[in-house]
Chain A
Amino acid sequence: MVGLLLDCLTTSALLFLVTVGLLIIFGMMRIINFAHGAFITVGAYSSVVAGQYGLSPWLTLILGPLAAGAIGAIAEPLVLRRLYGRQLDTILATWGLALIITQLVTLKFGRGTQPVDSIDLGTVTVLGTPYSSYRLAVIPLVLVLSIAILLILRRTRYGLVGRAVIMDDDLAQTLGVNVKRVRFTSFVLGSAIAGLAGAVLVPMSSVDPNLGLPWLINAFLISLLVGVSTTALAFASLALGSAQVLVGLSFNSVSATLAIPVLAVVLLRLRAHGFVRG
């Protein structure tokens, strides 16, 4: 029972983590970033590079976001900036970007699983149930991250301006807001958080060029569902993450992996604007 509860919480925390970067970009720019999975992969590969230079695996948590953010900072002016107002094309271009990043990673590191020194925290016993400490540690990490994002959105000038852009970017532009800079910041921030998610996933997954892929669909559907609100994302992650764990317990894992997409698609059909918008 305890294990089940912890599974629900940690699964939800991971869902939140892999989705929130996508959400920032979707919220500020109204585009679904199909390269999100590739940015997660880049974040994870920072652990490989860290290993090659003999750095501590903990540093990955900083290197991952830096690397992914840097690639985001290169891609935004080269590709995305030219496509504002052509949202459909942005989907295609970001998918192309994902192909490029994945192939570059493959060319550099090869197709296979990479050996990495990952963080090992062992297990703790929670109310009689042994549980992975690392998985548990994801929960506070996600809490800190979401508070940080909330503070950025509520308290900084970027957040204020960003919210103005969300409401009406034409208006924001006429009011002298540098929409270009807001979009750049959003893309880099979103990419960096994807990189962080990748770095966090390293101790739990195989570091290979397709690391980010399985997370994509769920992240896409959830961000469509919650729109721009981080609070709604927290709620949706908790609900859908728990649903996945419970379906996995009562049926089997194959239906569990379909639980989130099916639930999200149906919810979207019933309430096209998700939990918050409209």
Chain B
Amino acid sequence: MRGNHRRIGRGVAGSLAMALLLAGCGGGDSATEAGAGAGSGDIVIGVPVGLSGANSVVAPSVVQASELAVDEINKAGGVLGRKIKLKVYDDRSGAEGAAQAFTTAIIKDKVAAIVAMETSSARNAGQPIAAKTNTPYIYTSPYEGAACGANLFLDGPVPVQMVEPSAQYFAEKFQAKTWFLIGSDYAYGRGQLAHVRSVVEAAGGKVVGEEYNPVDASDWSSILQKVRSAKPDAIATATAGGAPNVSFLKQWKQGGFEQPSLNLSLDEGTAETIGAAAEGVYFPSQYFTGIESEKNRAFLEALKAKFGAEAKTPNFLSVPQYYGIHLYALAVEKAGSTTSAAVIKALPTVSFDGPAGPVSMNKQHHAGLNIWLGQADATGKTQITEDFGAVDPGAQCPDLK
């Protein structure tokens, strides 16, 4: 159609007609599900998660954890005599997708609540939509802290919970006086390392270097060069998860460094994927599969029984999601209704005891959590080396009770 532009003016309406046509195919079913949130019928929980994009790696385990929780609740008779139903949405691991997913869930499908393991940008995009309709929103990922909202509850750890006990442990066990801090240049990385710095300096130690790579960078040679000349006693890293962390660990290993390394973005699954390159690296978490407890064994077995060979290894992202669903159900039960206001009032008052111990979002909508320190061995398996017990999230939202 090059050069043929005479009909353009006539057809501006055409594109809108096309849009209308496209819109027509999706608008139909919204009426049938309206009112699912209140009154009788199933209670629908919306689970936006990164089915595509960066989070798609962990998304399946998160969805499984949610399904397991829903199964357990429904088998025990449901909530207020009603069944719980999940609706999963793709937030494409980012803000733009999350805005779409939240709009679909809250406005079109009228879900009763959102329980979601997402990126911080997805949370920031979704929360205004949830806040506007006062929809209870339980965010279940570790994050940088200080996200507050009357309808927003968070059962994942904030930096201070992970960093403080781990850094203190390093200072005692390895006599680490000088530290080198390495991160990806983004809010989470800088936030974590700021906490490490304050803990180190409070203990009389010294930070001899703090370096950041762009979030998508995978070449760490110039930073490793600086570590080599700074000769620190220990390093702490807070890179973006996935590729940057994996490439860092590989290059660290290749470079023949011997300092103890505290990795604030590693998890059990990734350690296993990397294998030998992660050998000896320490990382804290509020959940490890190796936790010795009756509840954890039962949880692992239940997953295996429900999903069989398809079962994904539960992890620090999927377990809070499991808790989140249970906590919501308990809150509805306690409130005696699915009305947002009542549920939001009840949420901080309920507690659920699961594979990682009892959790309650009673600290300004955040939760005190048990934290463990793990260490990867040569085969990529993680051994728990220390149990820090329950750690307080500190004052995250002073404006909330």
* Closest CB pairs A-B (n = 5): A248-B222, A123-B256, A112-B57, A206-B246, A132-B254
Give 1 or 0 for each of B201-240: 1 = CB within 8 Å of chain A CB: 0000000000111101111011101101100000000000
Query: Quick check: B254 and A7 within 8 Å, CB to CB?
Result: no
**Smallest Cβ distance from A208 to chain B, in angstroms?**
5
Query: Quick check: A115 and B275 within 8 Å, CB to CB?
Result: yes
> Residues of A at under 8 Å CB distance from B?
3-4, 7, 10-11, 14, 110-115, 117-118, 120, 122-123, 129-132, 134-135, 203-206, 208, 210-211, 213-214, 244-245, 248-249, 252-254, 256-257
Query: Quick check: B212 and A132 within 8 Å, CB to CB?
Result: no
Query: Quick check: A4 and B247 within 8 Å, CB to CB?
Result: no
**Smallest Cβ distance from A182 to chain B, in angstroms?**
31
**Smallest Cβ distance from B245 to chain A, in angstroms?**
8
Given contacts A130-B256, A131-B255, contact A252 B250 (CB under 8 A): no
**Smallest Cβ distance from A5 to chain B, in angstroms?**
10
Query: Quick check: B275 and A113 within 8 Å, CB to CB?
Result: no
> Residues of B at under 8 Å CB distance from A?
52-54, 56-57, 185, 211-214, 216-219, 221-223, 225-226, 228-229, 242-247, 250-251, 253-256, 270, 272-277, 380
Query: Quick check: B214 and A203 within 8 Å, CB to CB?
Result: no
Task: For B54, list chain A residues within 8 Å (CB).
Answer: 111
**Smallest Cβ distance from A136 to chain B, in angstroms?**
10
Given contacts A3-B229, A115-B272, A254-B212, contact A134 B254 (CB under 8 A): yes
Query: Quick check: B256 and A115 within 8 Å, CB to CB?
Result: no
Q: Which of A120, A123, A206, A257 has the most CB of B within 10 A?
A: A206
Query: Quick check: B254 and A206 within 8 Å, CB to CB?
Result: no
Query: Quick check: B213 and A253 within 8 Å, CB to CB?
Result: yes
CA distance A131 to B245 in the complex (A): 20
Task: For B277, list chain A residues within 8 Å (CB).
Answer: 118
Determine the residue in chain A with the shortest Cβ distance to B256: A123
With beta carbons under 8 angstroms apart, the residue of B212, B218, B221 that contacts A7 is B221
With beta carbons under 8 angstroms apart, the residue of B53, B214, B225 that contacts A257 is B214
CA distance A210 to B254 in the complex (A): 22
Task: For B273, list chain A residues within 8 Å (CB).
Answer: 112-115
Query: Quick check: B214 and A113 within 8 Å, CB to CB?
Result: no
Q: Which of B54, B242, B250, B270 has the most CB of A within 10 A?
A: B250
Query: Quick check: A135 and B254 within 8 Å, CB to CB?
Result: yes
Task: For B221, list chain A residues within 8 Å (CB).
Answer: 7, 10-11, 135, 245
Query: Quick check: A4 and B225 within 8 Å, CB to CB?
Result: yes
CA distance A243 to B267 in the complex (A): 35
CA distance A135 to B243 in the complex (A): 19
Query: Quick check: A113 and B270 within 8 Å, CB to CB?
Result: yes
Determine the residue in chain B with the shortest Cβ distance to A205: B247
CA distance A13 to B297 in the complex (A): 51
Given contacts A111-B52, A114-B273, A253-B212, contact A11 B247 (CB under 8 A): no
CA distance A120 to B250 in the complex (A): 10
